Structure 1
Amino acid sequence: MDDEEITIRLTRDQAFVLSDWLYQVMFQSDDLEGIMRDRAVWSPIYTISGTLDTTLSEIFMPDYAERLDAAKERLRADLYGDADGPTASGRDADAAPQAHQIERGTAGNHGESS
């Protein structure tokens, strides 16, 4: 078994939005088992969630919702261009991002791993 650690780098906005999503899935919806049936996946999910929770000060701020909305808008704009309207390709901001439509690993630098 290879125990070499892997580092994943996220922008602060990416980490904040991911942290909120993980919280919703793991603690609000109580549907982690429905989403991830293989319990082996839970170990890395709990590790990622715990790391984000201990790293992000935003999750304790009184203007959490406003900060989260702003982070989501910036990420949408990064993925799609102008988040308020269609992009040059004609897709709107709610369409699947290009990263999900092309071969894994060629989606660009929206997060780095090493």
Structure 2
Amino acid sequence: MDEEAITIRLTRDQAFVLSDWLYQVIFQSDDLEGIVHDRAVWSPIYAISGTLDKTLSEIFMPDYGPRLEAAKERLRADLYGGADESTAPGQATTDAPQAQQMERGTGGNHGEGDQGR
């Protein structure tokens, strides 16, 4: 089987926030198995996490916390159009304005990358 590589493009803020989340899930909570039940999915998760760790200088900076919070605020503002309306625990993510467009396999560019079409 031909294993063609896939390129995923993220903004720096997206990559930074995702990297932090992956770190929390994989290394701090030690609950990857509780979140991702199919171990086959762990391979791409580890690949993405490792790539982000090698790419992001922010994870080694002394002002990591404030930088992370600023990145989260910018992403929330971009997603929700301004005010911090982050999803509270237990709140349905379908409340997000773009949720309907982001169903699996439907229209829209879900990342920042080129679609190549």
**TM-score normalised by structure 1 residue count:** 0.83
Structure 1: 5+ residue stretches without partners: 85-91
2:38 match = 38
Instruction: State the secondary structure of the residue aligned to 2:71.
Output: helix
Q: Distance in 1 between matches of 2:21 and 2:63?
A: 17
Alignment of 1:1-114 (within 5 A): 1-84=1-84, 92-94=85-87, 96=93, 97-102=96-101, 103-104=103-104, 105-108=106-109, 110-112=111-113, 114=115
- What is the CA RMSD across the aligned residues, in angstroms? 1.8
Q: Give the Cα–Cα distance (whole angstroms) in 2 for the partners of residues 107 and 31 of structure 1.
A: 32
Greater than 6 Å deviation, 4+ residue runs: none
Contact conserved, 1:98 with 1:107, CA < 8 A, in 2?
A: no
Could you list the runs of 5+ residues in structure 2 that have no partner in the other structure?
none
What amino acid sits opposite 2:42 in the alignment?
W
Equivalenced residue count is 107
Contact 2:9–2:113 under 8 Å retained in 1: yes
* CA distance in 2 between partners of 1:48 and 1:110 (Å): 15
Question: C-alpha separation between the residues in 1 aligned to 2:99 and 2:61?
Answer: 32
Paired AA for residue 112 in structure 1: G
Residue deviations 1:23-68 (CA, integer Å, cap 9, x gap): 0000000000011111100000000000000000000000000000
Residue range with higher mean Cα deviation, 38-47 or 94-103: 94-103
Structure-2 separation of matches of 1:40 and 1:17? 23
Report deviation, 1:110: 4.0
Deviation at 1:82, TM superposition (A): 1.1
For residues 79-111 of structure 1, give each alpha carbon's deviation from its aligned partner in whole angstroms, at most 9, with x where no partner exists.
001124xxxxxxx43263234333334344543
TM-score by length of structure 2 reads 0.81
Q: Greater CA deviation, 97-106 or 3-12?
A: 97-106
